[in-house]
Amino acid sequence: MELFYHPLSRYSQKVLIALYEKQANFYPRVIELSDPISRQEFNRFYPPGKVPLLKNKAGMLIPESSIIIEYIDNEFSTGTKLIPQNHQVALNTRLQDRLIDNDFSNVLFELERQKLQEENMNQLLIKQLENDITKFIKYLDTQLEKQHWLCGDSLTLADCALFPCLYYAQEHFKYFEYDNLDRYWQQAKLRGAYQQVEEEVELAKGEVLAGRRPIP
Ligand SMILES: N[C@@H](CCC(=O)N[C@@H](CS)C(=O)NCC(=O)O)C(=O)O
């Protein structure tokens, strides 16, 4: 199995956390999204050109972080069960995963994009995006009131989606104002799979700063 990814891509980090939780072996294939040659080569191999992308042993290409995670959860009986057996809980897990991708990760991406505009920064839009994220953070805090992880007692696909967002948003949003979310975030940072991914992210960020790696 091969995973095509970039260490600074949130959707890639989501899949990496899942792979480590499953204790699944894979060959890492880093795609330098901002290097035209690396991107061209990847586009030839996979025209939509998006990471993460999984290539299974039979050569089948599996895109989309949530689908990759469902695939590996079915494929590997080892490690954490990421899609719960109970149908009701599984449905809620998929729902929370969708909400995190659409209402947190993608909004965060737009916020980061706006903030990079410098002279053309749209302050009104930035405020709106920040308000949307704050609203979502409050929603998460309520969800976590009675739950250890986002969808119950064990870690699921939804937590794999959430950890990378919380890592990026922590600089701008004060989690300590939200008791349940703060407790959850402290707990997430102690999880081995998360720590492994964070280490890779920090290393890649260091290389960007040192000019050794292009910024995605
Ligand atoms: N819905 C997709 C989103 C994947 C995605 O947007 N990947 C970004 C990096 S985080 C990407 O490959 N961007 C390159 C491009 O759009 O050309 C998923 O969940 O995997």
CA 11 to ligand 1 center in whole angstroms: 7
Q: Tell me how far apart the terminal alpha carbons of the chain are, to the nearest angstrom.
A: 24
Closest atom of ligand 1 relative to the 50 alpha carbon: 12
CA 146 to ligand 1 center in whole angstroms: 33
Task: Express each pLDDT in 59-112 by its tens digit.
Answer: 999 999 999 999 999 999 999 999 999 999 999 999 999 999 999 999 999 999
- The reply to whether ligand 1 has any atom less than 6 angstroms from the CB of 15 is no
Residue 87's SS3 state is helix
Residue 105's SS3 state is helix
Closest atom of ligand 1 relative to the 101 alpha carbon: 19
**Closest residue (by CA) to atom 9 of ligand 1?**
9
pLDDT of amino acid 206: 87
pLDDT of amino acid 208: 81
Average pLDDT, the chain: 95
CB of 29 closer than 8 Å to CB of 83: no
pLDDT of amino acid 169: 95
pLDDT of amino acid 118: 78
- The reply to whether ligand 1 has any atom less than 6 angstroms from the CB of 11 is yes
Task: Please state the rounded mean pLDDT for residues 189-216.
Answer: 88
- The reply to whether ligand 1 has any atom less than 6 angstroms from the CB of 54 is no
Instruction: Flag whether pLDDT at 216 surpasses 70.
Output: no
Closest atom of ligand 1 relative to the 6 alpha carbon: 9
Task: Express each pLDDT in 132-184 by its tens digit.
Answer: 999 999 999 999 999 999 999 999 999 999 999 999 999 889 898 999 999 99
pLDDT of amino acid 213: 73
CA dist., res. 59 & res. 132, Å (int): 40
pLDDT of amino acid 210: 81
CA 179 to ligand 1 center in whole angstroms: 32
Closest atom of ligand 1 relative to the 10 alpha carbon: 10
Task: Please state the rounded mean pLDDT for residues 28-55.
Answer: 95
Structural domains in the chain plus CATH codes: 2-81+202-209 (3.40.30.10), 87-194 (1.20.1050.10)
**Closest residue (by CA) to atom 11 of ligand 1?**
50
- The reply to whether ligand 1 has any atom less than 6 angstroms from the CB of 164 is no
pLDDT of amino acid 212: 77
Q: What stretches of 56-147 adopt beta strand conformation (E)?
A: 61-63
pLDDT of amino acid 147: 95
pLDDT of amino acid 137: 98
20 to 81, 147, 177, 184: CA distances (angstroms): 12, 23, 30, 19
Predicted confidence band of residue 214 (pLDDT cuts 50, 70, 90): low
